[in-house]
Amino acid sequence: MSLPLLMGTQPRVSAPRKPWQSAALVLAIAWVVAACGGGTNNVASHSPTPPASQASGTPPAQGSPAASPVPVTGAFGVLISTQTASSYAVSLVGIDGKVVATSQASTPATASCASVAGALVSPPVSTSNSRVYYMDAQGVVRFLAPSGDSGRATTVPAGTASRRSMFAVSPDDQRIAVIVDDFNSTGASTKLYVEDLNGGGNHLDLFSQTGARTLWPVGWHGTNNLVVAVVASCSQGGGPFCCGPQELHVVDPATAARRFTLGSTIACGIAGSPSPAGAICWDGSQSKVLNWTAGTVRTIAMPEPKLQYLSPNGSQVALVDNNGTSIAGTNISMAGIFACEWIDDTHVMSGGDPQHQPRVGNVTNGSMVPVAAQGDCAGRLPGSL
């Protein structure tokens, strides 16, 4: 089988990723993203299930009335704090490094593959063009806007020691795609459904599979293209960066029929989170900048593995290695800042902890400002791919 990838995040096993930690880990991510091979998962070959009232085990959505979402006029990065504590914080950060809004939620249960391997899951966060959405331990999905507006949006199946729900909200805040994984010693049972964000109506059970590979809901390209990633279900012995998104599939959110494939599990693994302009894959000697119809826009000589992030407009590529972040084709280099996302076309952001403060870097001149928050990168606003 073969399926579609994720917005703005990297894999999580039993602990959150920390790109500012060891330089060797930074390289390990890129190596694994390119090297994880095996069979594929194919949404396009699946005959979608007709609309159903609710997927098995899916609680009724219980959204609460709230102010209508307003698309942001600026750009903001998202940080989420460690997933090893009982609660985690979600922070929205401006290009000036200032935290404009923050909220907290109980941390979803850590899932494993029958306690013999770590379960690979994406962060419990998604972004629309208006808000960041985040999930708590009970499966309640709440939202936070840069204005501070917050509330409850819907519910998804709550996590357990063997189950995790992952989700992506459409850019217009109308639909939510949910992947529910039930992990076991050999992989995971995966279910994908899409429904209205408010109230859970128009529910569609679209896809199911069982095996060593699963999917992450990466985001939406516009409102009529869902992007999912092919990811290994479990990890053992490889550390927190053992496996990541390998292919991105653009699928029809009404049928799960695959429209385009970006990257390859065997030949050209995805090298960083995607952007509105597309994604980058690395084949071991060069990187390919891909648009959302899977066309190669340009290639970059890349003999060594590096994390690579495409700017929202597609004009620049941020390269992250042992030393920090540089911008391909320019003399801009920012030592010590290990970028994990673009906020807008001229600013990148790194994550951090008490020993390594997150920072926002200006790629036009290499300047950096500190961020008064901690955590991992988890997307950007506006959130459309």
Kindly provide the b/e burial profile for residues 289-317, where b requires at least 16 CB atoms within 10 angstroms of the residue's own CB: bbebebeeeeeeebeebbbbbbbbebebb
Nearest to 373 by CA among 78, 95, 83, 16: 78
Helix, strand or coil, per DSSP, at residue 239: helix
Return d(Cα 102, Cα 104) in angstroms, integer: 7
26 or 245, which is more confident:
245
Nearest to 312 by CA among 274, 284, 260, 281: 274
CATH code matching the domain that covers 23-381, chosen among 2.10.25, 2.60.98, 2.130.10, 2.60.120:
2.130.10
Q: Model confidence at 65, in pLDDT bands (50, 70, 90)?
A: very low
pLDDT of the residue at 68:
86
| pTM of the predicted protein model | 0.86
pLDDT of the residue at 353:
86
Q: Model confidence at 236, in pLDDT bands (50, 70, 90)?
A: low
**Per-residue CA distances from 126 to 39, 111, 245, 299 (Å):** 28, 19, 16, 30
Q: What is the pLDDT of residues 256-303, one digit of tens each?
A: 999 999 999 889 999 999 999 999 999 999 999 999 999 999 999 999
Average pLDDT over residues 12-36: 34
Task: Break the chain into its structural domains and give their ranges.
Answer: 23-381
pLDDT of the residue at 243:
67
Q: What is the pLDDT of residues 122-179, one digit of tens each?
A: 999 999 999 999 999 999 999 999 999 999 999 999 999 999 999 999 999 999 999 9
Q: What is the pLDDT of residues 351-363, one digit of tens each?
A: 998 888 999 999 9
Give residue 343's identity as a one-letter amino acid code. Answer: I
Could you write out the DSSP letters of every residue in 310-361? E-TTSS-EEEE-SSEEEETTSS-EEET--EEEEEETTEEEE-BBTTB--EEE
